[in-house]
Amino acid sequence: MTQQRRITTGKPIDRFYSVIPAGGIGSRLWPLSRADAPKFLHDLTGSGQTLLRDTWDRLVPLSGEQRIMVVTGRAHRAAVETQLPALADPNVVLESEPRDSTAAIGLAAAILERREPGVIIGSFAADHVIHNMPAFQAAVREAVAAAEAGYITTVGIRPTEPAVGFGYIHYGDRLELPGAPSALTVDSFKEKPDLETAERYLESGSYLWNASMFITRADLLLEEIGRNRPRLLEGLLELAEAWDDPATRGPAVDRIWPGLEKIAIDYTVAEPAAAAGRLAVIPGYFDWDDVGDFASLAKLNSGGRKSDLAILGENARVLSDASSGIVVSQSKRVISLIGVRDIVVVDTPDALLVTTSENAQRVKSVVDALKLTGSTDVL
């Protein structure tokens, strides 16, 4: 009964810290997402607030406002603080330059472990979309229980279709952990599959979508990083030691940060921990999307009806005749579509993108081409 109540209660979880790495630009959402307007600073659902703020609002009931840490780039500090006025100053961790997710989440873990040994942290992307808060919170509460039992724990989303844009988690047996009745072992992580493989995953019922959520004791996360990347851990611990003293933080960052290995946490923590049986997964029964590209954004905003035209933008003036897909409008210009199906039109003050849902993943290549041609003014 005690455990049950713990899962469903609305009170923040003891000793639990949420970490939000808010780093990625979201290049596949260019020209909406930019270096100075990354994906997490956009309202992509028509909710009226940014994805970052949505993330914050989801986590406050779990951690409380005082126990949410945001790791972001120096350039985004003002925007982040505007979005999250209740974010405590010591909980803003600024990166001098992006060094990928192991460094971002690892530094947060090291700082928090130093401040509060034995703390449990949960890391949640700043730019994902989740609907059904109670189910999300229930899953995280179970994950915290699994973390308390010593597992590095992730929340995997129960697939609803053979998606090819997500990574998958192949799970195994039930762990029977106290407070985490649905916790399962993780056999392995799978890269984004082709359609045939994705269909097989869906049918088998043994796969979940990888939503990049990690809930774990901070010390165990650091231990895992140290096992696989001892030099990286060393740098993170040194940084953490210097962090809370204004006199030592700056020099430490300048000295250590640029030398940290750029590597995703999937390779330093998730995959090796899974292989060693130290990873658990809680199946999440809620709508989740990483909004990885405009096809995903279109689906998200059209209520799943392929025949519809989704329109995103406060001042959008869109005239559609026999057209479907998505229009993202950042201007008051009249946008007229005639007979274009599954179209993607993104209209920003200085750049316009026209493509189709089918080609949505190729948007990143345009960003690369713009970099190469020196057109960095629109990136």
Residue 311 Cβ vs a copy of itself, minimum distance, rounded to whole Å: 13
Distance in angstroms (rounded) separating the CA atoms of residues 104 and 98: 8
C-beta closer to a copy of itself: residue 208 or 345? 345
Pairing mode, strands 334-338 and 309-312: unpaired
> Which spans of this chain sit near a copy of itself (rule: CB under 8 A)?
31, 317, 319, 321-322, 332-340, 343, 345, 347, 349-356, 358-359, 362-363, 365-366, 369-370, 373, 375, 378
Task: Judge contact between 12 and 63, C-beta under 8 A.
Answer: yes
C-beta closer to a copy of itself: residue 104 or 312? 312
Residue 83 Cβ vs a copy of itself, minimum distance, rounded to whole Å: 27
Residue 365 Cβ vs a copy of itself, minimum distance, rounded to whole Å: 7
Residue 349 Cβ vs a copy of itself, minimum distance, rounded to whole Å: 8
- Indicate the SS3 state at residue 301: helix
Residue 338 Cβ vs a copy of itself, minimum distance, rounded to whole Å: 4
From residue 65, alpha-carbon distances to 54, 171, 350 in Å are 13, 33, 37
C-beta closer to a copy of itself: residue 252 or 370? 370
C-beta closer to a copy of itself: residue 262 or 332? 332
Distance in angstroms (rounded) separating the CA atoms of residues 239 and 241: 5
Residue 42 Cβ vs a copy of itself, minimum distance, rounded to whole Å: 18
Distance in angstroms (rounded) separating the CA atoms of residues 3 and 74: 41
Please, what is the end-to-end C-alpha distance for the chain in angstroms?
53
Residue 192 DSSP class: P
C-beta closer to a copy of itself: residue 275 or 334? 334
- Indicate the SS3 state at residue 24: coil
Residue 198 Cβ vs a copy of itself, minimum distance, rounded to whole Å: 21
Distance in angstroms (rounded) separating the CA atoms of residues 333 and 320: 14
Residue 34 DSSP class: B
> Cα-atom radius of gyration of the chain, to the nearest Å?
21
Residue 375 Cβ vs a copy of itself, minimum distance, rounded to whole Å: 6
- Indicate the SS3 state at residue 332: coil
C-beta closer to a copy of itself: residue 88 or 334? 334
Query: Burial of 1 by CB count in 10 Å (0-12 exposed, 13-18 middle, 19+ buried)?
Result: exposed
Name 76's bridge partners.
none
Residue 177 DSSP class: B
Residue with tokens 């809930």: 215
The number of beta carbons lying within 10 Å of the beta carbon of residue 89 is 6
Task: Judge contact between 63 and 14, C-beta under 8 A.
Answer: no
C-beta closer to a copy of itself: residue 180 or 295? 295
Residue 26 Cβ vs a copy of itself, minimum distance, rounded to whole Å: 16
C-beta closer to a copy of itself: residue 18 or 323? 323
Helices (H), 182-245: 195-204, 218-228, 230-243
C-beta closer to a copy of itself: residue 75 or 322? 322
Distance in angstroms (rounded) separating the CA atoms of residues 310 and 299: 8
CA dihedral 367, 47, 209, 294 (to 10 degrees): -30
C-beta closer to a copy of itself: residue 28 or 141? 28
Residue 350 Cβ vs a copy of itself, minimum distance, rounded to whole Å: 5
